[in-house]
A and B are shown apart, each in its own frame.
Chain A
């Protein structure tokens, strides 16, 4: 969990990678998958390093493969020199560990979003308003205007201790996995599903 949560820029990438690797994936496949995540556009590390963070942190098993895709085991390596081992390993694959699966389940966006709405019922309407607004990509300024104009949000100095800025809602929805930044704020699949259930309730 600590590895996934160490830096917000990488949090959703690492979470999604744990999900993607629940079945064994080749290194190239994982790298290509990560490249499709909108969050990766602003990641500060390349895919291999991000995968390594998970592998080194115990979230992924790193599997060494020979040139026909078979796993190179310790038994296979027994008696070989370092150079021979190096030549034997042709590629890598990754699979999510039990601990990784547990983290993936714990960080399920649907669970995170419901937790958010449960712990902040006073903001339910505001969250719903932002989610609805982000059915198509929105700039932060557009969201700020929406909340300021609707009087749902703090703008400027106030004597209300609980007053918050529009970014408070964006931050919470993003952290819960309901919004994703893709050159604008946009509903994630889970965000869309939650919005639907809010509308229906």
Chain B
């Protein structure tokens, strides 16, 4: 210690020169610290092929890697894969550049200068784990466990479950990812709330039925805010081309003339963030013209139920007829309908349609217990009534005739479905729109049938008992682990008994405490579905310290400065954070600007043997190469948790899901999955063991709700009513008390009132209809070259797409004197960026379009500033992370806000614009040895 204290820099450098150590460097070094195998054998070149799975995006296409002397040189799709069928898109191909990128982080790196200096020193894994654990434990000692928080998201390292549970292991409630409420959670969760089943998302692998080649049934597919042609080019993008080729019609609803819109039978270039109005117009038209599936709507949705105007919940029969005794079990309530047979109010008991005692009316009003009540169908009909084709055309900037053509395409067939995309999650109507879109499929009876999108697959999708949905994370994982939350579909008595029987009362109590203390949760209780915090509330808490201050940060993936809405607002609070650990395969602007410590994470060619599914086929991920001291995504968190326990002298609670002790353990799990004798056996005989296939006839199953289960009734759905809840009554209970997530505890009601149980149109807070200062509305989407914030280090993709384009209608451009390829400033109330104009008729003149993330990552000594352009070109400098938020999920405004544009003098100073400038991104690590795993 004394030596260290008195050592001057001059002395240190002299010592370093002798020992060969490097104190600090302007970029990560790539030398190996551990025993290594030589990368190159003596000539001749040894070639071999290995099967693995791409993880360029979350669709995980099986692929084949060609290696020459241990160096990956060629990637191609696996022809055995049922969906990508031998193809692989640019995102996947980028891997050859990113895995060998000079920007790779191959060793634990500790900051060696002030934050943002991009000066790093290479440290050992033991030092890195000890440093992170010491900072976390000390901060918790100083300020309590709520000072810790973890994050994930942005692509590149998929540590979703780890980030979601890591804070809990420290007794902390705060976790988030830039996606979640802004990506998939609303669509995922709303399907769970409405019918306990799979949702309509294509990109998230939930909607797979249209790609079913065992029974080719889809006749019409509505792509609502989805663009598989660029999002998942080789997988669903390829599959949809086949679908069209065999005669399936498509309707595309997208403000932008995407490749899918270009091939659509009907394209509706909707004004951004007015999807609620359009969906309501579809309801209106379908109701008015009796185009819905009458039997399904009457008997399998809750629209015929009368709704209590005070509680907004459906009347149960016993409320109307106190002496009524239900014949169905306590977990299957009997509601109230208007019976067309008897022309009177009747109990509506759950049964198969043919066994029902009533012919329920969907649209009715009646006096019940002295109050005028309406059926849920009537409520929906009245809510939709203002949205005539003409009125909707005005709101959405659409031709009413085209709206009608789109609806007719969807309704005038027996097999159709709506598939949706992330754009719906990125506005404050993120709950209302999927409510509408799934509701439409439900009233059309497009549920659990061949060719429709709302289907469930596999043998486990056929219930044997009354379906129950646990909402605390996927499959109720956290309900099981922590003994909290109600099972929707269980009776009150069954739920009470389940909670009482949970043995670990201390865990149960503590987790409920964490639930109620979660930032922003009171108003946005839908975040409980993924156990996340409300991002703007976390930002406020860091900034103000109220009600408590998250201040030691463990980030598990991505570039937060590219991904977070209003990214500069996050940059401004970084000085409030005591210590930031990051983990990522690359140095991005976030690691450079914010992190104090960076753990080296593997690219997907290095991943251990995690099995990946593509429909009914299961493929393996194979660690094809391994550079430096990189580890898998789940390993640092587990090691840091273990070390924290060592520091505190206690055993940490086993809440971390997906934490890995070793890579070998992951491989062994794969051995078991594929039924091999050993890992070596599995590797040597991939053709024998991979893929593992569930036979088509056991996978493509339908009519699950009709199966008779152990109580003698049809299974129905995993909701309280056992029906598709087009009127999502669970949302009413949720907003008021936190039910079902926080059961048995009740939280205070949302400050903004009840959540809407049906689709709504809410005019965006920044509206081009009224905004004279910022008259244009900006929306965004994907480009085919990149996934989320990743791959910006891939040299060839950057050559193809060196700068972020802004698409502008020529009429709008001419007003501003802007020509194609001109540089343009785009300003919102949050900030200003610069982009290059691409003029296209494929947008309404009032709309401009950009890629949804952009992080140039061009930081090096050729730039005057370190920021690499993220402040100059990133659309998230413009996005809005302040209220109004979505009521259920707290989603903020990534799309559909107002901007203005002007011609710029030229490009911003800190980005590269020409192909040659990207030369520093060319892969250089092919000569790195393939190393052994660290753990």
Assess the B114–A57 pair: CB atoms within 8 A. yes
Q: Would you give the 0/1 interface string for A44-87, flagging 1 where the beta carbon is closer than 8 Å to chain B?
A: 11111100110011000000000000000000000000000010
Q: How far is the CA of A57 from the CA of B113 in the complex (A)?
A: 11
The reply to whether B578 and A48 form a contact with Cβ atoms under 8 Å apart is no
Q: How far is the CA of A6 from the CA of B138 in the complex (A)?
A: 19
A28: B residues at CB distance < 8 A = 5-6
A100 to chain B, nearest CB (A): 15
A52 touches B9 (CB 8 A): yes
**In the bound complex, CA of A86 to CA of B747 (Å):** 68
**In the assembled complex, A121 has its CB within 8 A of some CB on chain B:** no
Q: Which residues of A contact B115 (CB under 8 A)?
A: 6-7
Cα A92 to Cα B10 with chains together (Å)? 10
Bound Cα distance A52, B522 (Å): 46
A157 contacts B545, CB within 8 Å? no
Q: Verify B516–A156 contact, CB threshold 8 A.
A: yes
A32 to B135 Cα, complex, angstroms: 23
Is the Cβ of B547 less than 8 Å from the Cβ of A8? no
Q: A46-B4, A48-B8 are in contact. Are A139 and B116 (CB under 8 A)?
A: no
A171 touches B549 (CB 8 A): yes
* Cβ contact within 8 Å between A167 and B6: no
A102 interface residue (CB < 8 Å to B): no
B147 within 8 A of A: yes
Return the contact of A167 from the options B114, B131, B134, B548 (Cβ within 8 A): B548
Query: How far apart sit A201 and B5, CA to CA, in the bound complex (Å)?
Result: 44
* Complex interface: chain B residues within 8 A of A158 (CB): 748
Which residues of B sit under 8 angstroms from A46, Cβ to Cβ? 4
**In the complex, residue of chain B having the shortest beta-carbon distance to the beta carbon of A185:** B142
- Which listed residue, A52, A144, A162, A163, touches B144 by the CB 8 Å rule? A144
Bound form: Cα–Cα A118–B579 in Å: 29
CA distance A31 to B5 in the complex (A): 6
Chain B residue with Cβ nearest A170: B143
Query: A8 contacts B116, CB within 8 Å?
Result: no
Contact yes or no, B547 A168, CB < 8 A: yes
- Flag if A44 contacts B6 (CB, 8 Å): no
Q: Is the CB of A44 within 8 A of B579?
A: yes
Q: Does B769 contact A (CB under 8 A)?
A: no
Interface residue? B141 (CB, 8 A):
yes
Cβ of A48 and Cβ of B9 under 8 Å apart? yes
Inter-subunit contact B142/A140 (CB<8 Å): yes
A178 CB to nearest chain B CB (Å):
15
B548 engages A168 (CB within 8 Å): yes
A48 to B7, CA, bound (A): 8
Contact assessment for A168 and B549 in the assembled complex, using a CB-CB cutoff below 8 Å = yes
How many residues on chain B are close to A (CB under 8 Å)? 44
Q: Which A residues from 25 to 44 make CB contacts under 8 A with B?
A: 27-28, 31-32, 35, 42, 44
B143: which A residues are within 8 A, CB to CB? 140, 167, 170-171
Given known contacts A42-B135, A52-B9, A144-B144, A164 and B546 CB-to-CB distance under 8 angstroms: yes
Residue A91 at the chain B interface, CB threshold 8 Å = yes
Decide: A157 and B748 in contact? CB cutoff 8 A: yes
Q: How far is the CA of A91 from the CA of B113 in the complex (A)?
A: 21
Closest to B749 in A: A159
Q: CA separation between A9 and B553, bound complex, in Å?
A: 13
Q: Judge if B517 is at the interface, Cβ distance under 8 Å.
A: yes
A7 pairs with B10, CB closer than 8 A = no
B135-A6 in contact (CB<8A): no
Contact A8 B575 (CB under 8 A): yes
A47 adjacent to B522 (CB under 8 Å): no
B933 at the interface (CB under 8 A from A): no
Residue of B at shortest CB range from A183? B141
Residue interface bits B346-370, CB-to-A below 8 A is 1, else 0:
0000000000000000000000000
Task: Assess whether A165 is interfacial by the CB under 8 Å rule.
Answer: yes
- Give A143 Cβ to nearest chain B Cβ, in Å: 9
Asked if A47 contacts B5 (CB within 8 A), the reply is yes
Select A27's contact among B8, B144, B146, B516, beta carbons within 8 Å.
Answer: B8
Within 8 A of B (CB), among A118-157: 139-141, 144, 154, 156-157
Interface residues contributed by chain A, number (CB under 8 Å): 47
Would you call A20 an interface residue if the criterion is a C-beta within 8 Å of the partner chain's C-beta atoms? no
Given contacts A6-B575, A7-B596, A53-B114, whether A48 and B12 have CB atoms under 8 Å apart is: yes
Given the interface contacts A156-B516, A170-B143, does A9 sit within 8 Å of B547 by beta carbon?
no
Interface centre among B7, B116, B547, B576 (most CB of A within 10 A): B547
Which residues B194-224 have CB closer than 8 A to chain A?
Answer: none
Which residues from A are CB-within-8-Å of B522? Answer: 157
- Is B291 in contact with chain A by the CB < 8 A criterion? no
Which residue of B has the minimal Cβ distance to A157? B516
B545 touches A168 (CB 8 A): yes
Q: Does B513 contact A (CB under 8 A)?
A: yes
- Chain B, residues 372-389, CB within 8 Å of chain A (1/0): the string is 000000000000000000
Contacts of B112 in A (CB 8 A): 45, 49
Q: What separation, in Å, do the CA atoms of A7 and B135 have in the docked complex?
A: 13
Q: Using Cβ atoms and an 8 Å threshold, which residues of chain B touch A185? A: 142
Residues A7 and B516 in contact, CB atoms below 8 Å apart = no
Q: What is the CA–CA distance of A166 and B146 in the complex, to the nearest angstrom?
A: 11
Q: Which B residues are in CB contact (< 8 Å) with A91?
A: 8
B145 to chain A, nearest CB (A): 10
* A31 close to B6 (CB less than 8 A): yes
Residues of A within 8 A of B4 (CB): 46
Name the one of B5, B546, B575, B597 contacting A7, with C-beta atoms under 8 angstroms.
Answer: B575
* Residues of chain B lying within 8 A (CB to CB) of residue A57: 114
The yes or no answer to A5 lying at the interface (CB within 8 A) is yes
1/0 contact string of B543-576 vs chain A (CB within 8 Å) = 0011111010000000000000000000000011
Instruction: State the CA gap A4–B135 with chains docked (Å).
Output: 19
A42 to B133, CA, bound (A): 12
Given contacts A46-B4, A157-B516, A157-B747, contact A168 B578 (CB under 8 A): no
Q: Bound complex: CA of A188 vs CA of B59, how far in Å?
A: 56
List the B side residues contacting A8 at CB < 8 Å. 551, 575-578
A47 to B747, CA, bound (A): 49
State whether the Cβ of B110 lies closer than 8 Å to any Cβ in chain A. yes
A32–B7 alpha-carbon span in the complex (Å): 11
Interface string of B233-259 (1 = CB under 8 A from A): 000000000000000000000000000
* Given A44-B111, A144-B144, A157-B748: A164 in contact with B547 (beta carbons within 8 A): yes
Q: Give the docked Cα–Cα distance between A141 and B146 (Å).
A: 12
Contacts of B551 in A (CB 8 A): 8, 171
The distance in angstroms between the C-alpha atoms of A5 and B114, with both chains bound, is 10
Min Cβ gap B159→A in Å is: 23
Residue of A nearest to B14 (CB): A86
Q: Tell me the smallest distance from the CB of B272 to a CB of chain A, in Å.
A: 32
List the A side residues contacting B111 at CB < 8 Å.
44-45
Chain A positions within 8 Å of B147 at CB level: 167
Q: Which residues of B contact A9 (CB under 8 A)?
A: 578-579
A117 within 8 A of B: no
Interface status of A3 (Cβ within 8 A of chain B): yes
Q: Check B517–A168 contact: CB distance below 8 A.
A: no
Set B135, B141, B547, B596: member contacting A140, Cβ < 8 A: B141
Interface residues of B in 1-38 (CB under 8 A from A): 4-10, 12
Cβ contacts under 8 Å, A7 to chain B = 114-115, 575, 577-579, 596
Chain B interface (Cβ < 8 Å from any Cβ of A):
4-10, 12, 110-116, 131, 134-135, 138, 141-144, 146-147, 513, 516-517, 522, 545-549, 551, 575-579, 596-597, 747-748
Instruction: Please list the 6 inter-chain residue pairs (A to B) with the smallest Cβ-Cβ separation, ordered nearest first.
Output: A165-B548, A157-B516, A167-B143, A6-B115, A164-B547, A53-B114
20 A-B interface contacts by CB (under 8 A):
A5-B575, A7-B115, A7-B579, A8-B551, A8-B576, A9-B579, A31-B6, A44-B579, A44-B596, A49-B112, A89-B10, A92-B8, A140-B141, A140-B142, A157-B516, A157-B747, A165-B146, A167-B143, A170-B142, A171-B549
Contacts A140-B142, A168-B546 supplied; 12 other A-B pairs, CB < 8 Å:
A3-B114, A7-B577, A9-B579, A44-B111, A46-B4, A52-B9, A52-B113, A53-B113, A56-B114, A89-B10, A167-B144, A171-B143
> Which A residues lie at the B interface, using CB under 8 A?
3, 5-9, 27-28, 31-32, 35, 42, 44-49, 52-53, 56-57, 86, 89, 91-92, 139-141, 144, 154, 156-159, 162-168, 170-172, 181, 185
